[in-house]
Structure 1
Amino acid sequence: MDFRFKDYLSMPLQLLRINRSMKAAPYRNKEDFEKELLVRLREMCIYAYEHVPFYKEWFHDADFSPYQMQSFEYFERLPVLDKDVVRNNYDRLISDEAEKLGAVECETSGSTGTPMQFLLDNNVNTASLALFNRTWNMCKDWNITKPQATISGYAEGEWKYNRFSKILYLSSFHLNEETVLNFYNLILKYKVKFIRGYPSSLYRFAQLLNERNLHLQFDVMFSGAETLLPFQREFIEEFFKGKVIDHYTHWERTASICECMEGRLHAQNDYGFHEILDANNRSVKEGVGRLVCTGLYNRAMPLIRYDTRDLAEWETEISCPCGSNFPIVKKIWGRIEDIVVTPEGVLVGRLDAAFKYNKNIKLAYIYQPNIENIIVNIYPFDDFSLKTEKPLLEQELRKRVGSTIKIQYKIVNKEDIPFTPAGKVRFVVSDVDKKYQNTEFEL
C-alpha cells in the first residue's frame, strides 16, 4: 500500500485526533486497549448492520447480533469474507452514507489477474496517513516531512519529484545499469533522508550502486508489498549501513503489521483487528494460519473478517523490549513471486499491476523460459477477446518490461493455472537467473 497526500488532507482536525490516538496506542495497558478494541469492533458491526445491506443478511444467517457482542469469541461466530464474496456483492457492500463519507472507488492490482474494486472513505484515508506517520517516526531523526525516495511500481516514466510531499518517485521498471547513476544523483539533489520500496527493488538498487562503486547511507529503509527475504535484508542493511523496517499493509486498508526497532513484527490492532485462522476458521494460537482482518476506520465499505489470502503465524513471546503491547507476529507468508529478468538486466517484480485495466481476465500468470521471452498465460471470462484487449495489456506490460523482450500470449484453462495449497496463484514463474528467485519455501 502506498499513499497520496491529496487523499488525506481533507480532514486536518481528524488527522490530529487520529495521530494523537495512534501515538499512544501501542503503549497503553493491554487490558484497557483490548476493551476499547472490542468496543470499536462492536461499533463497526453495528454500523455495518444498520447501513450496509449485505451485512444485515450476513449477520442474520450467522445468528449474530452486533448489539449483543460482548466478547471476541462472540465475534468469531461470523463467517470469513473472501475476495470473491466482495466481488459478487459489491453494490450491496456499500454504505448508504458512502457519498457523505467522501468515498472514492479503488481497486487492488489483482495478484491473480482479477482486480477487486472497493470504496475508501475520508476517515480511513486520514488514518492511513497517521499510520505511516507513526511508522516513519520510530526514530527522532526521521519524520514524514523529510525528503524521501520510493523505488516501486511507478510506470509513467523513470522518475518524478513531488515538491509538496517531498517524495522522489523512482521507477523500479526502469532500474538498470544505465539509470542507476541518474537515480543516485537525484537522491543527492533532493537531499533524500530515507528510502522505501519493494524489497526486490531496494536489493537491486543496492547491487547496482555497489557495482558502480557509488555509496549512499540511510539510517532507515522501509520495505513493503513483497515478502522481505533474509538475503535481501542482509545486503540492503550492509550496503546502506542502516536498518530495514518491514511493513505489511494492503490497499483494502484492513491490515497493518509493522516491524519495530527491535526487529519484531507487531499487528497494529488500533488500525485493523488481525486474526490468524485455521482451515475451519478457528483461531490459531500456534502454527501457521490464514491472516483475516477487520478494518476499524472505513465505513463507506466495511470489510469484516476479511481474508487477505496471506498466511501468518503468531509469536508465542508475549512482550517486546520496544514497549509495544500490540500482538507479535512471528512471520508472514505470502506476496512471494518470481521476478522477470529483461535482456537489459532489469529485474521486474509486481507485474500484476499491468493487468488491472483488463476486466475480462479471470486469472493469469507469466512464465519466463529464457531471458529473451515471456509467455503471458490468460484464463479469460467468456467476453474476453485477445485481439481487442491485447493492445492495452501490451502497453501496460511494456511500461514495465521494456521494448526488447518478446511477449507471447496464450489462452489457458483454469487447471493450467499454478495454484499453491493456500489458494494463491504463483504469478510469475521464471527459469532465468535463479539466484534472484525465492527458494526459501513454497506456499
Structure 2
Amino acid sequence: MADSPAANAGAAPPAGASAPAGVTAASKGITTAALRIGRETLPVNDGWAAAGPGTTGGSAADDAHVTVVHNRAELVAALGGDNATNTTNATPKIVYVSGKIDLRVDADNKPVGCDAFADPAYSLSAFLAAYDPAVWGMTTKPSGPLEDARARSAKNQGATVKINVGSNTTIVGINGGRLTHGSLALTGVSNVIIRNVEATDAADCFPAWDPTDGSTGNWNSLYDLISLSAATNVWIDHNTLSDGNNHDEDQPLYFGRPYQVHDGASDIIKGSDYVTVSYNDYYDHDKTMLIGSTDTPGVDVGKLRVTVHHNRFGNVLQRAPRVRFGQVDVYDNLYLGTDSRYQYSLGVGFESSIYAENNYFKLGADVPAADVIHYWKGTKITAIGSLVQVGNKVQPVDLVAAYNAAYDPDLTPDAGWTPTLRDRMDPAWAVPQVVAGSVGIRHLGC
C-alpha cells in the first residue's frame, strides 16, 4: 500500500472487495494479498466506471480461471486460448502477470526483431524512395505494392503484439509484472480491470506515412499500451506506462518528420464508455491519452464518459487527455510539464465537456500557464482549483482565463455539467504528496 497516509483510500480501495474464494496461495503461487487484489472490484462512486452495472472485472472467477502467467503463450491461454477470438471470451477470469513478459516473440516465446514480421516485398529503404515527397508528392496517401507490403507487415506484427482481452476479466501484475513490446486491446468488451501492471514500448515496426496529415505530413503508428475501442465499464488503476528505453526523440527523421513508432499510452475511442483511470504513472511518452478519435458525430455521441484522477503525467508531451464528445472528469492529477518539448495537457476537442478540478501543474520556466489548455475545436471547459508551480513559486491559476488572454477563440469556462461520481477529493496543494506516494505499480501490496 502507499506509504503516504493521505493516499491510503486511493491506494487500496476497500469498497466492493471480496475475500479470496477457494484458491489458496500455495496452490497458485500467489500471495494472499495478491489474491485479495485480484478479487477487488471498483469502489462505489469511484468515477464513471462505477456507473451502470459498475465494474467488477473477473472477481467472480472460479478457481480454474485464476491463473499466473509468465510468457505470451500463457497469457493468451489464460485469456481464452486463441488470441484471434479471445475478445469473445466472457468467462470471468483473473490473470496474474508475473515478471517481465515480452509480447514481441516467436512461437517459442523467444524475443524477435521487426524483421520477423516484414513482408518479403517490403523494405524501408525502398518505401522511402518510392514515397519521398519529391517523388510522390504531398496530396495523396501512399498506395501501390510497397504500401501494400508495409500494411501486410503491420498486420503480421499486430497479430502477435496485440493481446485481445475479453469481458469479465481482471489482470493484475505481480513480482514486478511487466508487459513490453505489445498492447492490451479491449475491443467491444465490458467489465475489465487492469491493475499493477507496467507496460512499456508498444513500438510499431512499420509506421504509416501520411503526407496529408498536417502541413508537413506525419508518420503514424498503430499500437497503444492499453487500447479501449467500444469498451465499457473499464478500470485502469495503479499501472506504470511509458516508452521504456525506446524514446521517440531518438528515432530518425524521414521526409523531415520524426519516425514516430509509438501511439497512445491508454487511448479510449469508438464509443467506449464508463471508464475510470486512476493512480497510474505515465511518463516519457508523447501522445498519452486520446478520448475520442474523430470529429464526426456517430458512436461517440453520449458516450466517452471517463474519469481521470490521481495520476501522474511525468513529462508527457500532450493528450493528458485530449477529448472529443465525452464528459470527462479530470481531478487531483499531478502534471510535470518541464520537458522542453511539452505541448499541452488538456486538449479541448470537438463537442467535449472537460471538468478539471484540483489539478497541480509543475511547469518549466519557459512554459506559460496558458499552454496547459489547447484548442481542438472545442468550446468549453471547467477548470477550477488549479495550482501552478514554476520553480519554487506556487500559485492558483484560472487556466481558462489564462488561455483566453493568450489565444483565440475564447473558451467558455463552464463544461455544462458537474461530476458526482467521486470516491475522494484531495485539495490541490496535497496532490504532489498524495500522487507521488501512491501512483504506479508496487503500491497495492502484490
Sort the TM-score into its range (normalised by shorter chain). under 0.3
The structure with the largest helix share of the pair is 1
Q: State TM-score, norm by structure 2.
A: 0.23
The structure with the largest strand share of the pair is 2
